[in-house]
Amino acid sequence: MATVAEDVIAAVGTAPGEAGIAVIRVSGPGCVQVVEQIFRGRQSLKDAPSHRMVYGAVVDPDTAEVLDEVLVVRMQAPRSYTGEDVVEIHTHGGSAVVGRVLNAVVRAGARPAEPGEFTKRAFLNGRLDLSQAEAVIDLIRSKTDAARRLALEQLKGGLSARVKQMREILLDVMAQIEVTIDYPEHDVEDVTIEQIREAVDQVREQIDELLASSRVGRLVREGVRTAIVGRPNVGKSSLLNALAGRERAIVTAIPGTTRDVVDEWIHVRGVAFQILDTAGIRTTEDEVERIGVERSLKWVEEADLVLCVLDGSSPWEKEDLELLERIKDRPFLLVVNKIDLPQRLTCDGRLEELPQHRIVRVSARTGDGVQELADRMARVVLGGEGVSASSCMVTNVRHMALLKEAREDLDAAERAVSEGWTVDVAAVDLRAAWEHLGDILGERAGEELLNRIFSQFCLGK
């Protein structure tokens, strides 16, 4: 297990560039003494009440030159972000000012912090578990309201509480197994086997629920790759422009205008969609267009959602039918475009054979039906429920892998009791499941894992 460093670290906690205010964060035992060397105010910083702003100036430690007028706040351990003594210096936001003040702090005895080192110290000091620490970077990177809500729920301990509850169930049954092993004369093994089965079922059900949420959780966190596909001139680029609300793709009446993938991000019900306008799918002798068609077909297989566009003003073409066959096992919506023109697509009844909730009729030219399409896209991804402030979803690949390992351990424990092995054999698998769940919280996290996780953070966090 990694240990907390005892030195003082410092970094700018606000974004670079010009701003009204910048914040320099200093943390570690002795950070108050470090800042005292460069702070001049009416009140000594060490005598100031914790969590109260003090006005003064920061001076150069060598020349006593005033670098900036500042507000400084001392946060006494453990009531701080890192769980250590922390001092925050609020300066004016110009880069020259911030650079000089940070340099003065370092010369007074602090060292520049590594990326994510403040959050790493918060974890090592027990302020956050590892899943909560990982939620910090998700919150910083969140681009939509749904992603923000999921990250905040995890930061508040929503996932941690679920994991701790599962570990408690396993710990109780493991304790009962110890009693059975230590006092065999009590003859309670049959009761213990039943308790093992009940515990396995309870925890496995919760794991399955969390794993089932991981698809939606990942899409909310990373965005939904949505491929617009169809034969040439069905209005794919016009649909991209209509969804984006601006002229993002070139639109002409010439077949094969789009030869490479054009993408645009849109937000629907708090979820980010990366809309990919692909080349029209058809047989072509043009080498460049052929490569574009190959990429289109590749996106049919890789996209999280496929929007298959048909021209409602023309009858079915061979390419339409071939594309329908390709997407039938994918998450898709069938978009009948050009509803502002006389319709010829429904003549042979093929549309009626398809699930009606998968069909959306729009006019990319007039905008009719485009909002309904966007809402339908969100419903396909979210399952119609949305992401609430209390939603607990798994969004992290590391968490998913550990949940799967814990589930395999539980399956092994169940097999052990079903095949007549003694309860101490099942106990080995139950403990493995308990430990894998604990790894989500960082119970056994080593320096290598922590460095890999916290290196993704920005400086100052």
Q: How confident is the model at residue 190 (pLDDT cuts 50, 70, 90)?
A: low
61 cis-preceded (ω within 30 degrees of 0):
no
User: What are the start and end residues of each CATH 1.20.120.430 domain in the chain?
Assistant: 136-219+396-441
CA separation for the pair 389, 230 (Å, rounded):
38
CA separation for the pair 165, 205 (Å, rounded):
13
In degrees and rounded to multiples of 5, residue 54 shows phi and psi of -125, 130
Binding-site residue positions for Mg(2+): 237, 258
Q: What is the pLDDT of residue 101?
A: 97
* Lowest mean per-residue pLDDT among 19-33, 98-112, 202-216, 225-239: 225-239
Instruction: Say yes or no to pLDDT of 388 above 80.
Output: no
Q: What is the pLDDT of residue 236?
A: 82
Other CB atoms closer than 10 Å to residue 226's CB: what's the count?
A: 26
Instruction: Say yes or no to pLDDT of 246 above 90.
Output: no
Q: How confident is the model at residue 254 (pLDDT cuts 50, 70, 90)?
A: very low
Binding-site residue positions for (6S)-5-formyl-5,6,7,8-tetrahydrofolate: 25, 88, 127, 461
Q: What is the pLDDT of residue 459?
A: 80
CA separation for the pair 85, 106 (Å, rounded):
17
Q: What is the pLDDT of residue 389?
A: 46
Q: What is the mean pLDDT of residues 227-238?
A: 84
Q: What is the pLDDT of residue 191?
A: 59
CA separation for the pair 154, 134 (Å, rounded):
9
User: What are the start and end residues of each CATH 3.30.1360.120 domain in the chain?
Assistant: 9-129
Instruction: Say yes or no to pLDDT of 255 above 50.
Output: no
Q: What is the pLDDT of residue 122?
A: 95
Q: How confident is the model at residue 270 (pLDDT cuts 50, 70, 90)?
A: confident
Binding-site residue positions for GTP: 233-238, 252-258, 277-280, 363-365
Q: What is the pLDDT of residue 349?
A: 62
Sheet with 332-337, side-by-side order of all strands: 262-268, 271-277, 224-229, 305-311, 332-337, 359-361
Q: What is the pLDDT of residue 15?
A: 86
Instruction: Say yes or no to pLDDT of 350 above 80.
Output: no
* Lowest mean per-residue pLDDT among 99-113, 151-165, 249-263: 249-263
Q: What is the pLDDT of residue 256?
A: 44
Crossing angle of helices 370-382 and 236-244, rounded to 10°: 80
The pLDDT > 90 percentage for the chain reads 47
CB 170 within 8 Å of CB 178: no
Instruction: Say yes or no to pLDDT of 189 above 60.
Output: no
Q: How confident is the model at residue 253 (pLDDT cuts 50, 70, 90)?
A: very low
Round the average pLDDT of the chain to a whole number and report it. Answer: 85
Instruction: Say yes or no to pLDDT of 403 above 90.
Output: yes
What does R_g of the chain's alpha carbons equal in angstroms? Answer: 29
Q: What is the pLDDT of residue 162?
A: 96
CA separation for the pair 23, 105 (Å, rounded):
13
Q: How confident is the model at residue 294 (pLDDT cuts 50, 70, 90)?
A: low
Q: What is the pLDDT of residue 243?
A: 87
224-382: CATH, from 3.40.50.300, 3.10.580.20, 3.20.20.190, 3.30.70.1150:
3.40.50.300
CA angle 243, 248, 252 (to 5 degrees): 100
Q: What is the pLDDT of residue 326?
A: 80
Q: What is the 3-state secondary structure (H, E, C) of the chain?
A: CCCCCCCCEEEECCCCCCCCEEEEEEECCCHHHHHHCCEEECCCHHHCCCCCEEEEEEECCCCCCEEEEEEEEEECCCCCCCCCCEEEEEEECCHHHHHHHHHHHHHCCCEECCCCHHHHHHHHCCCCCHHHHHHHHHHHHCCCHHHHHHHHHHHCCHHHHHHHHHHHHHHHHHHHHHHHHHCHHHCCHHHHHHHHHHHHHHHHHHHHHHHHHHHHHHHHHHCEEEEEECCCCCCHHHHHHHHHCCCCCCCCCCCCCCCCCEEEEEEECCEEEEEEECCCCCCCCCHHHHHHHHHHHHHHHHCCEEEEEEECCCCCCHHHHHHHHHHCCCCEEEEEECCCCCCCCCCCCHHHHCCHHHEEECCCCCCCCHHHHHHHHHHHHHCCCCCCCCCCCCCCHHHHHHHHHHHHHHHHHHHHHHCCCCHHHHHHHHHHHHHHHHHHHCCCCCHHHHHHHHCCCCCCC
256 or 216, which is more confident: 216
Instruction: Say yes or no to pLDDT of 425 above 60.
Output: yes
Report which listed range, 93-107, 217-231, 301-315, is most confident: 93-107
Q: How confident is the model at residue 56 (pLDDT cuts 50, 70, 90)?
A: very high
Binding-site residue positions for K(+): 233, 252, 254, 257
Q: What is the mean pLDDT of residues 146-156?
A: 91
User: What are the start and end residues of each CATH 3.40.50.300 domain in the chain?
Assistant: 224-382
374 or 251, which is more confident: 374
Which of 97, 43, 49 is CA-nearest to residue 69?
97
In CATH, what is the architecture of 9-129?
2-Layer Sandwich (3.30)
In CATH, what is the architecture of 136-219+396-441?
Up-down Bundle (1.20)
Q: What is the pLDDT of residue 249?
A: 46
Widest Cα–Cα separation across the chain: 88
Binding-site residue positions: 25, 88, 127, 233-238, 252-258, 277-280, 363-365, 461
Q: What is the pLDDT of residue 179?
A: 72
